[in-house]
Amino acid sequence: MTGAGTPGRLVVCPTPIGNLEDVTLRVLAALREADVIACEDTRHTRKLLDRYGVTASLVSYHEHNERSRAGELVQRMLDGAVVALVSDAGMPLVSDPGYVMVEACVAAGLAVEVLPGPSAALAALVASALPSDQWRFAGFVPRKDADRARLWANAETLVVFESPRRLAATLSSLAAVDPDRPVAVCRELTKIHEEVVRGPVSEVSARYAAEEPRGEIVLVVGAAPEGAADLAAALDALQRLVDAGARLRPAAGVVAELTGLSANELYRSLAGARKS
C-alpha cells in the first residue's frame, strides 16, 4: 500500500475465466496489497477472494456507474490509495468495464500497472487451430445485417463473443455468405464442460441450429477470401437501399451493375442474413 502523501496507482488484474486455479501469484499479491478492489459484481469477486483467503475492501464498478465511480477512485489514488481493478472474468477493458478508469488515471498522471493473465479471446484463438499470426478481436457480434456483413469480410482471423441463444443465428448469417468458411465454437473454456467444435460454418451452423449450447461462447472465424471486402461494401450499399424502401431483388440488380458483382449473390447473401 502507498503511504500518505504519495501518489497512488491503478493495478489492472485479470481474473480466471472459469477455473479459479488460473489466477496468477502476482494478481493475488496485488489484490492483497490494494487499498480497494474495484469489481463488476462484489459477490462474484468475493468468491475468488475467499478461495485464496484475501480480505480486501470491495467497491462496485460496472457499466452503469463507471464514469462517476472512476472519478471517485481517481481522487482516492491522488490521495495515495492503490486501487486494483478486476472484471468478473478475464482482462478488464476487453468487452468489460475499465476503459474510463484507465483513461482518467492517465489524464491525472497516475501510474497504471497491467498484470498478465487469463483471456478468453486468446485461449479461443489458440484452441481454434486457425491462423494466429494476424487476427482481430471485435467484441460481441453486431445485430444489424450490414454490420455483420462487414465483420465477415475481415481479412484476418476473427475472434468474437456471442451469447448461446444467438449463436445459431450468427452462424447462419455467416453460412449464407460463405458456407465453407472455417470456424471454431469455443464453449466454457477452462471449465468442466469445455468444448471446441471446429469445421466449415455450414456444418457447425447445422449442429447448433438443432442443439442450443449452454455457457460462455467465443467464436473464432477464419479470414475471408480475397474479394470479400468488395462484397461487404456492396451488401452495405444494398442494405441502405432496402432500409430506404427499395425492394431487395431490384436493388440487388442496381448494385450489381455498379460493382460488377453477381446480383444473385448479393440477393442471396442479404436475404440469408435477414432470415437469420
Region 209-226: mean pLDDT is: 92
Q: How many domains does the chain have?
A: 2
Render pLDDT for 3-12 as a digit per residue (tens, 0 to 9): 555 679 999 9
Give the per-residue pLDDT at 181: 96
Phi-psi region of 182 (alpha: psi -120 to 50; beta: other; left: phi over 0): beta
pLDDT at 22 over 90: yes
Structural domain containing residue 22 = 9-118
- Encode pLDDT of 127-143 as tens digits: 999 999 999 999 999 98
Q: Are residues 35 and 156 in the same domain?
A: no
pLDDT of residue 5: 58
> In this predicted structure, what is the pLDDT of residue 145?
77
Phi, psi of 214 (to 5 degrees): -125, 155
Mean pLDDT is lowest, of 225-229, 238-242, 262-266, for 225-229
Same domain, yes or no: 63 and 141: no
Check: CB of residue 186 under 8 Å from CB of residue 167.
no
Cα separation, 42 vs 86, in Å, equals 10
Which among 177, 176, 175, 197 has a CA at the least distance from the CA of 186?
Answer: 197
Radius of gyration of the chain (CA): 22
CATH of the domain at 79: 3.40.1010.10
Instruction: Identify the CATH number of the domain in which residue 146 sits.
Output: 3.30.950.10
Is it the case that residue 254 has pLDDT exceeding 60?
Answer: yes
114 and 162 share a domain?
no
Q: Is residue 177 part of a domain?
A: yes
User: Which spans in 178-227 are helix H?
Assistant: 201-210
* pLDDT higher at 38 or 6: 38
Pairing of strands 58-60, 36-39: parallel
In the structure grid, which three cell numbers stand for residue 59, read together? Answer: 467497491
Distance of alpha carbon 236 from alpha carbon 157, whole angstroms = 21
